[in-house]
Structure 1
Amino acid sequence: MDFSGVDDDTSSDGRSSSPIPSLYSFHSSLDGRLMLRNIYGRILNNQNDTYFLPADNEEHRRLDLQHHIYTISLNGLYSAPDLVRRALQPRPWSSPAVLDVGCGSGRWAIDMANEFPHCEVVGIDLVPPNVQVPLPTNCRFEIDDANLGFAHYRNSFDVVQARAVSSGIRDYPWFLNELAEVLRPGGVLLLGDGDMQIFDETRQPIAYAEEGQPGFSWTHRIFFAAYNAMKSKGGSVDSPSMNPTWLRAIDSLTDVGWDKVFIPMGPWCYASERERVVAEMLRANALSYISGMGPLLLSEGYLPERVATMQREATAELRELRINVYSRWSFAWAVKKY
């Protein structure tokens, strides 16, 4: 894994000497393998057993693709664009700052740094991103586990994003309160995540069915298995639908908004070339996601042959468009009160 672009400017106590230090910062002098482990043939993080999806180059390529799906779906890098641009307006007394929690491949942080060159952008994750593009001078990456809290980031950022992190967060309402504390007054919190639930042609949740029963789908079966495995490990995989309610319960936040987008898993339904492309991208993302579910399912006691069958059959269903299903992506946002 390429660790270029990761902050290694550290003090003698091992913490970053940057103005907003991370609890853990990557040292280029340390063996990067200490942060990683090989489990069932894929590379995973070595800090957090709740998040059990891969952290290797293949997964970062999937996250890059997912980033493009988000960007097309939102018609830009972020929801609530008026709120975000207002929060990141240049000001004479300090530089606006952006925090990307669970930055994955780092693409959103890099794109935000390019769009807002007057802002400081920090991306944090359990492992360093595999940066394959030039890193803007106003962007850096640090190593952190969001489950440890953000006392070191209090009142430090004007925009905070947490996207596709729910499966690695053990207590999501607490996590949202922590993010609210990170925001400066007037700052914007952005949330985004895909549901593990799959939806039928009428955009209704698909009911569980056993193999051989009417309505059975291998794609639904493996997503259902992954959902239960993530729940078993303590992940907050139900959070996408709960975010608006939880945000409204935080006294320091206001202007809560919510939106959802349904995208076909494959080009079985589209009204424009743009929609066809997004559907193709989502199918590719889903296929890669299914491929990466192996360690998660095997660690929860599924037999290797059963996992291989689910992966093979679900992949065939999606490749051959044997099922017509939607994925739902939920977005929420809120503003820190003055």
Structure 2
Amino acid sequence: MSAYPHHLFSRPVYEVDFVGSDDSALFRTVHGMRFNATNPRYMIPADEDARRRSYLLHNMVWFMFNGKAYIGPVADVLRSRRDHGQRHIIDLGTGGGDWAISIADEFPRVEVTGVDLAPIQPRLVPSNCTFDVCDLDFFELLYPPSTYDFIHARAMHTGISNYPRFLKEVGRMLRTGGMVLLIELDLEPMADGRMESELQGYSGLSGWFALWRAYHHCLHRLGGIDVTVPQHLGELLAEAGQFEHISTRVGDVPIGFWPRDPLRLTIGEIAWMYFDSLLPSMLPLFIDSGYSEGHAKVLIRSAQEDLYHPIVHMSTRLHIAWAFKK
């Protein structure tokens, strides 16, 4: 259960355990698809496909991190509390809850809270794992200060209109010496290891690149989202002024079945399934951003053609940063 009583919250936060069997009030239907009712600007469906994408992303990162749910000295941070008090982890943008559940299993004496816009997480979870529903774009003061030993946020910057403000909240919530781990997929696709800006003319992925240009436009128009956040995680942590010992990594993510190395092939297969599921889910976002339904469908079909029948190697990048609260 969250540490603050619910009647103190300035915006509603619902614990998934207490939502019950009827969670219809936390969803809305748009263009025949189910969306969260918490943040109307976030126009990616919250349905079974979203839960599946969350699971795929979790596994893709797990393979990239060599069979672990995290990177960096997380275990050391959780052991380092000198007061021997209860340790707390919060997973911001938990999606289907796979990461929160896995970390709760790994650290059974640590309290783990997953937070997302919609209750698409399973109800049967480890006893030290709970889920909250709230809008992380406006969650100032919803969670107690200097409480969390480890904060994890993965693939959720597209729901945050002011990422520097978000990082200041993260810093407020962390105890001194606590660790934050940020993981974001790049929104700049690559062909044969090069971004569109690095290519001169023909890319072999015209439909794929066109879709991501349109996606950038939609994110900016509907939510004012900064699509360059993944590339600047380390700089943003430094500018927040609350963190030290900042580390960054960039991992190459193959998309498809072209890698010969078995591990990279596995990552590429999972990434392909992730994007195959994501493409049709973008339709409502395009329509609400002013594209006609016909134009939006052409964008998606052209990108699918490149995904299903690639003539060059498709990839993207995974940006990772971790730091410690001063």
TM over 0.5: yes
Q: Does 1:87 align with 2:77?
A: yes
Give the aligned partner of residue 305 of structure 1. Answer: 294
**Structure 1 residues 88-127: aligned runs within 5 Å:** 88-89=78-79, 93-127=84-118
Whether the aligned pair in 1 keeps the contact of 2:38 and 2:134 (CA below 8 Å) is no
Kindly tell me: are residues 314 and 85 of structure 1, through their superposed partners in 2, closer, same or farther at Cα, counting changes over 3 Å?
Answer: same
**Structure 1 residues 90-239: aligned runs within 5 Å:** 93-131=84-122, 134-151=124-141, 152-201=143-192, 203-207=193-197, 214-215=202-203, 217-233=206-222, 234-239=224-229
Whether the aligned pair in 2 keeps the contact of 1:262 and 1:327 (CA below 8 Å) is yes
Aligned-partner Cα distance in 1 for 2:107–2:122: 19
Whether the aligned pair in 2 keeps the contact of 1:109 and 1:121 (CA below 8 Å) is yes
Which stretch shifts more, 31-40 or 152-161? 31-40
Give the aligned partner of residue 241 of structure 2. Answer: 251
Whether the aligned pair in 2 keeps the contact of 1:188 and 1:335 (CA below 8 Å) is yes
Equivalent AA in structure 1 for residue 251 of structure 2: V
Whether the aligned pair in 1 keeps the contact of 2:3 and 2:144 (CA below 8 Å) is no
Aligned-partner Cα distance in 2 for 1:243–1:140: 27
Cα deviation, residue 182, structure 1? 0.6
Equivalent AA in structure 2 for residue 174 of structure 1: R
Kindly tell me: are residues 14 and 29 of structure 1, through their superposed partners in 2, closer, same or farther at Cα, counting changes over 3 Å?
Answer: farther
Cα deviation, residue 284, structure 1? 0.8
SS of the residue aligned with 2:286?
A: helix
Aligned-partner Cα distance in 1 for 2:245–2:225: 27
Q: Does 1:72 align with 2:60?
A: no
Aligned-partner Cα distance in 2 for 1:161–1:241: 18
Count of matched residue positions in the alignment of Structure 1 and Structure 2: 318
Give the aligned partner of residue 289 of structure 1. Answer: 278
Give the aligned partner of residue 4 of structure 1. Answer: none
CA shift digits 1:170-201 (9 cap, x unpaired): 11011111101110111100101111111121
Aligned-partner Cα distance in 2 for 1:153–1:9: 7
Which stretch shifts more, 293-302 or 227-236? 227-236
**Structure 1 residues 308-323: aligned runs within 5 Å:** 308-323=297-312
Whether the aligned pair in 2 keeps the contact of 1:50 and 1:167 (CA below 8 Å) is no
Equivalent AA in structure 1 for residue 135 of structure 2: D
Give the aligned partner of residue 317 of structure 2. Answer: 328
Aligned-partner Cα distance in 2 for 1:262–1:271: 14
Structure 1 runs of 4+ with >4 Å offset: 7-12
Aligned-partner Cα distance in 1 for 2:312–2:292: 25
Equivalent AA in structure 1 for residue 131 of structure 2: F
Cα deviation, residue 31, structure 1? 4.6
Cα deviation, residue 22, structure 1? 8.9
Q: Give the root-mean-square deviation of aligned CA atoms.
A: 2.5
CA shift digits 1:129-167 (9 cap, x unpaired): 3317x4100000011111223423211100001111111
Q: Of Structure 1 and Structure 2, which has the larger fraction of its residues in helix? A: 2
Q: 2:13 aligns with which of 24, 42, 46?
A: 24
Whether the aligned pair in 2 keeps the contact of 1:317 and 1:323 (CA below 8 Å) is no
SS of the residue aligned with 1:153?
A: coil
Aligned-partner Cα distance in 1 for 2:12–2:109: 25
Cα deviation, residue 208, structure 1? 9.8
SS of the residue aligned with 1:276?
A: helix
Equivalent AA in structure 1 for residue 167 of structure 2: L
Kindly tell me: are residues 118 and 10 of structure 1, through their superposed partners in 2, closer, same or farther at Cα, counting changes over 3 Å?
Answer: closer
Kindly tell me: are residues 166 and 103 of structure 1, through their superposed partners in 2, closer, same or farther at Cα, counting changes over 3 Å?
Answer: same
Whether the aligned pair in 2 keeps the contact of 1:22 and 1:142 (CA below 8 Å) is no
Percent identity over the alignment? 26
Structure 2, unmatched stretches of 5+, are none
